[in-house]
Amino acid sequence: MPLQVKQIVGNSFIIVGGPKVPVVGLITDGGNPKHAVLIDSGIDEVAAKAIDKAILDGYALQGIINTHHHADHCGGNNYFQTKYPNIKIFATYSEQPLIEHTDLEPMYLSGGAKPFSFIGANKFLHPKPSRVTDIIPDESEGVVLSIGDIKCTVRDLRGHTKGMIGISTNDGVLYCADAFFGLQTLNEHKILFHTDIAASLATLKKIEDLNVKYSHVVIYHGGFIEDVHGLIGVNRKQILEVNDFILEAIKNSVKLTIDDLLATLIGKFEPGPLLPPQIILNRTVLQAHLSFLESSQRILLTAENGYVFCSIHPAAHVSSVPNVISNTTPK
């Protein structure tokens, strides 16, 4: 089934229709011919070709804004940059190295070592590299990007990754990338991928506040969202359920290693058979939760006999999660 360009409102669109392209944003200038900017580019050349075909007849592509470095958001860059050598590609300072040097993500997922084959050869974790032509500073909330006659505004939505951004338009549309997820993803994955839990919770609160101004909200895995507050509530609940389970598991064990805790967590929330890459990704999420709990003095991490053990901090009040939602909101 070919991809389709669907109007959200005014000059703000989404491209939908294929499993390899959950949702890609498209902003135009309304001119003749219509100039266009993509928000993300799909996972690979196949996805990029489908996107290109969907817009080729009606739009002249001027640039791509990568919300973050994950393959399903930047894997099509290489195709577009090869076909359109003068195209502009935007990304934040923190995301740019991982888009240009795509071997870095498999390496950091492997603890800095040469990656296992199931990570290094995995296109979902190792897309083709591309060159970022225009770097957006981190903490760039409110910065206006001008790409030809197209103007849009950067929204700092970090948490899923360190430098992830969203984009808002003058039409009142807010493209939120992977700041939160649709119901299908929530049903399939109970352990949501976020690398900074405090920042992710703050970003959810921020989107709720922005929803007053931007009445049309789009996410990559879910499309156009009508009940933004309801869906964000489900996302928040799922994050905190995982966090509370980790805290209780540590509380109820004398000595618990990170690997023991990972197996316990997967057994609770992802009981089906998982492939090795999924286990590695869930370990990253677990470490994000442990970092969140340690930084708020909820837990201690100690070393003994070659193991890292998790235990409850002596001063912690186990019955509640620290309130970081409002006082760490990205600017």
**pLDDT tens column, 88-101:** 999 999 999 999 99
Position 206 confidence tier, pLDDT thresholds 50, 70, 90: very high
Percent of residues, the chain, with pLDDT higher than 90: 84
Which of the 8 DSSP states describes residue 255? S
Domains annotated on the chain, with CATH = 4-179 (3.60.15.10), 245-312 (1.10.10.10)
Report pLDDT digits (tens) over 104-142: 999 999 999 999 999 999 989 999 999 999 999 998 899
Please give the pLDDT value at position 2: 84
Q: What value does the mean pLDDT of the chain take?
A: 92
Longest dimension (CA), the chain: 69
Tokens of 53: 């075909």
3-state class (DSSP) for residue 40: coil
Sheet holding 307-312, edge to edge: 256-257, 307-312, 299-304
Is pLDDT at 40 greater than 90 in this prediction? yes
Between helix 276-295 and helix 228-251 the angle, nearest 10°, is: 80
In this structure, of 25-34, 53-62, 106-115, 283-292, the range with the lowest mean pLDDT score is 25-34
Residue 97 Cα to chain centre, angstroms: 16
